[in-house]
Structures are given as C-alpha cells and as structure tokens.
Structure 1
Amino acid sequence: MLPVRPTTSALEPKRRGGRLFLVWLIGCLVIIGAEFVRRGLRGTPFPTGLLTFTEFLAWLVVIALTLYGFAVAIRWLMRALFWRVGRRLFLSYLLIGMMPFFLFAILLLTIGYMIAGVMSHAALRGERQASLGQMESAALEYGLTGKKPADALPTLEIYDTDANSGAKLPDWLKETTFSGMAWRDGEPLLVASRQFPRTAERPRTVVFVQPIDKTWIDQLHERAGMIIRVGRESDTGRKNKVNMKVEGSNVDFNADDGDMEDLIVHSIGRKIIWGDLTSLNDWKSGGSDDEHQLFTLIINPVSSLFQFYFGAGSDQYVRILFNVITSLSVMLLFIYMMAALFAAVLIYSITRAVNRIEKGTKAVERGDF
C-alpha cells in the first residue's frame, strides 16, 4: 500500500499537551525553589532530607517530560517533512551513509588528540626528570668543587649542611638522598639532595632546590616550545585569576604574567591543551601529601611534540606522515563519493518508479485506462 500523507487533524497535538507543559514548568520551579531553600538552610541544624527527596522527584518528572517532548517533536518532524518515499529514502541515505562518515572522522580526531595529549603529558614529566638529573649532577659537582653551576637559573636555591644555609633544611633532607618534587608554602619545587659520606663525621648533604616559577617556565618554553601554567589550590576563586575545579578542589592560575584566557582561546585548534595532576611530598615532613596536588596546564605545539620525540629531523618525518595521511584520505574520500553518487542514482530511480506506480494507481481508480 502506498503511503498516504496524514491529514491536518492527525498532526494536531492532543489537548493534554498544555497540561503536561504546566507540570513540566511546575517541576522546574520546584527545582529552582529547592536550591534557594537549601542555600538558606546551609549552616543550620535543620534536616534537608525531605527537600532532597522532593527535588529528586521533580528532576525525574522534568527529565521524563523533556524526553517525551523531544519524542513528540521528532515524530511531528518526521510526519511533516518525510512522508513521501523519496524523502524517506534520502533521510535513510543521510543517516546510514553519510552520518557514520562524519562520526568516524570525529572519533579519529578525538583519538589522535588524546594520544597527543598523553604524549604532551609524558613530555612534561620527561622535562621535569631531565631538570632533576641536571640538578643531581650539579649537586655532585658543587659538593666536590664548591662552585655554583654556570647555567643555573637565578632562582636556584643551594643548601649545604657544612654552611649556614643547611640550618634552613628540614631534618629529613639532611639525612637522605632525594630526587623529586615537594610542596613548600603553596609553591611546587624540584628538589635534588646529594649526600657525601665522611669517616667519623655525619655525612655532608648538598640540596639543590628549583622553584617551578616563571623563570623555570620561561626557560622551558624557550628550550622545548612548551607553554605551561601551574595551578595552586585555594579555598575560593580570587579576582584577576583563572579558577577551575580539579577533583573537588579549587585551583587558581596566576594570570599576572599575561592573559591566560586569551592564551587558551588562541591555542584551541592549533595546539595541544592537556592537564597534568601530580602528587607532591611535603617539604617539612618528607611524606607524600595527597591532599595537595599540583595541577599543570600544558599547551604544546604539535611541532614541538614531534621534535621532542623524533629529534631535529622531525620536520621531514612530519612532512612524510602528512603526505601519506592526505593521500589515503583523498583516495578514501573519492571512493566514498563514488558510492554516494551510486546511492543517489538508486534513490532517484526508486522514487521515479514509485511515482509512476502511484500515477498508474490513480488512473485505475479514475477509470482512465
């Protein structure tokens, strides 16, 4: 039987639509009112269990009616726009033929971006480990010669138990060799401790401490092309700072050295933006401080990422890789276009045949042979 376009009366919504919309609106008002009441009762001994249960029921009603409204709207759209055979075939072609192509492209882009983000995360940790390795070598040289490294950053701190600076060290650093990161007064540090045993005396300890501050961040950008911003935990967000939530904690990014929001906006789509969350040791006790974690925002150009992993000849490698991917993409796109053209011809042929059958049926009904 040929499809018949529904009459106007069949498309009219039922009268209960107004009542359902009123119930949906009441549910939204209940949710908003419950939030205001909960804020007013915060800090008071009044129980809020009944209020939470009422809000939960209101959310259920609102979600159910919203889904019902979407279903009714989609049904009306299907009946109003795609009641003919040709239009239904064209819609099926879009959903089955073209939509998977775009969804698969989005999936590939997402996978590639996540892989690049993980590689940027590993590159940052590799840079930190390289800095710690340089500090360990510098501490050994300082212990033997007493000379500060020539390429040391201005903010590098040197502590020696044989000098007055050793009194500022916590007890655990005076008696151990350590290489890692620590948390001191809200500031992340790279710490390298080196012990020099002595007969009949306490071992001598030399500690190099490099704060992860603007100086260290700038030299990382000059050397590796990677831009990072270090977040510090706080109770509430402050003005003139970028604030975000990380695992339930407020993290402030100091934007005094530039407009961080503009940096992120101009990097979207051009650079890899990723995050790194690291647990640090406490400066005073030396124990792991899981309550204070360092969140680092990584903004890394793709060229710097390839140069970090593939060395100075990465440009040629990237060019070859880009040419191969482009060639495969063009070839697959051409094959897909041929298949799409063939499907369009089939849709046109089927639609034309159905229209001829419909005209013949109407002619038979009229008795026009």
Structure 2
Amino acid sequence: MQLKTFRNRYKVLQASLAEDFLKNPDLVADLVQKRSDEIDALLNDIWQGFEINEALCLVAVGGYGRRELHLHSDIDLLILIPDSTHDRHQQSLSKFLTFLWDVGLEVGHATRDIADCMANIGDLSVATNLLESRRLLGQASLFLEMKLMLKMSDWSSQSFFVGKRKEQHNRHLNYSNTAYNLEPNLKESPGGLRDIQTVAWVAKWYFDVNLFSDLVDKGFLTQNEYDLLVQSQSFLWKVRFALHIVAKRREDRVAFQYQREIASVLGYQNGERIAVEQFMRDYYQSATKVARLNDILLQLFEQSVLHVQNLNTRFIISHGYICMTNDTVFTKQPSAFIEIFLLVAKHNYVRGISAETLRQMQKKP
C-alpha cells in the first residue's frame, strides 16, 4: 500500500472541493455529495488493498451514511463482523484504521457484531446511526441482518418519536432555547441542522422514506414547506462549508473571529449595512424559519404517531392512554387483564390506562 499516493489523492480532493466552493457556493449540495462519493472510492481502494476478510462489512453511518460530508466532516464508520470474532479480526482492522488516519481522514469508528448491536440498540444515538446507515463494502447479508435487527427491536415509531423530541428539547436548553445566540452552533442551536435532521429521522422511521420530497408525495409536507426546508438546508450548508474553509478544520460554532470572513466567502458586501451584519441577519432569519417549521412538523407527527395507534383488535392508544376497543374485551378474554399491563410496559411512552378502561377492569363479573 502506497501511503503517499493515497495521502496526495485525498489532499487533491480537499483542495478541489474548497476551490469549487469558493468559485460558486451555490454548488454546496453537489460538493457535500461529491466528497462522500470520493471517500467511498478511496475507502474501497484501501479496503481492497488490505485484503480484509470478505465476511466483514464496512458501513457508513452519521452524515456519511446520508452522503452529507462537508469539507472537514468526520467520516463515521461501522465495521460489522461475524458474532464473537473480535479477536480474530482485531489486528487487520487496527492496521486498516491506522492507515486511514495516516492518509489524513478523520475517522470515527466502531467494530461490532450483531450481538453488540442488539446490546446497544436501546441507546437512541445508536438506533439513529443504524437507521441511516449505508453499506459500503463487504458482506451484504451481515448488513441486512443488522437492518432486520433494528426493525425487530423494541423501538416503535412512537417511542422513537418521543425519544427524538426529548433529545431535541434538551439540546435546545443547552442553547437557551433561542436561535439568536451571538455565536450560534450550526448543528445544535435551535433552527440549526439538527432540527432539520430530527424531522428527517422521524419521517424515515415512521414513513420509511429517505427524501423530503417523498413526504410531499405522501401529503405530509406541503410544497411550500418542502421548498422552505430545502432553501434553509442549502443556506446552512453554505455557511458550514465556508466555516470549515475559514477555520481550516471541523467547526460548527460561528464564532466572532470567523463571521467576517464567512460573509466575504459567501459574497456579502458592505452597503447600508456592513457585510457581516447582513450575513448574520440572514442566518437568524433562516434559523427562525427552520425552528418554526420544525415545531409545526413535529406537532403533525405527534398527531399522526401518538394520538391514535391501533395495537391489536382489543386495545388502542388514544391521546397517550391505552384504551379497550369495546366493553366486552375483559369479559370475553380474561387474559386481556394481563395483556394490558404488558402493553403498558412495552409502550413506555404512554401515560397509563384510560379511565373508561379502568372502570371496565374493576367491574365484577
């Protein structure tokens, strides 16, 4: 393996991406996908050069799984291995990952077998990573097994939604619950990229779609809302790509020291207002629109996902409570007394058992 060759190849890629962006920031959507595609090709050549055991599977997760790699975004990888074979593959994988770092790739990685995935699937961040994972190389059956395991897990559309909504609430609190921070974080602040991704994650889990345009086809998004999401994401992407160029590293906080240069890179010029003020005004307007749309869409998801859910012929969830479907459930099937408590335990996002159902349960036979 020629380390110098791969290192130069990666340097040329990074330089060309930066050059193309500086010429035309409106190309940002093409450039984040181009970097992802080129990293795919680079990893393929390195993987083949190391002659990794064909029973293993290399998987892209995170932003890389979504084919969204900004100039200095981390390259998040999951390496799937057959069950209980960690020791057997440790040495070859260690050499492979060390080589990636030597090339200059900033890699985040985890090596797991299916048993490991099952043991960690209760972690919302792990479930989210697996949800948007993308197979790159290696054993396809192992990847499909992992995907099936995710679908068969205890995560439901309801519990996933509740988890994501709580995660977003806590994240917003870290930024004083406002989009108007003086040094906003492009990913984590209210109205940032995470707010857009949260909608995408919930949509993918509930509707099994990969594109926002699919939500328009399903009647969940209006065309105007779709256009606003695309425009806002494009603006935030341009700011983030420019920030990476200015900072010369992975960075998400639009610190004071970067704001003037970002404004310049994006073509803002001094006029009635100085360029940096125009840029930050546009950022705050965009973030406000994203935050509002995020709130609207999550409320619509809540109505669709949480308010009424059919569990089986005997029970439904209505507005957070488990309800019987008719008055004869418990008299015709006494096992329903046990079943309803099992359902409460399984669907831990419900508030409890509805009052009318409790009345029926307390009636003497």
- TM-score higher than 0.5: no
Alignment TM-score, normalising by the size of structure 2: 0.28
Which one has a larger percent strand, Structure 1 or Structure 2? 1
Taking structure 1 as the reference length, the TM-score comes to: 0.27
Structure label with greater radius of gyration: 1
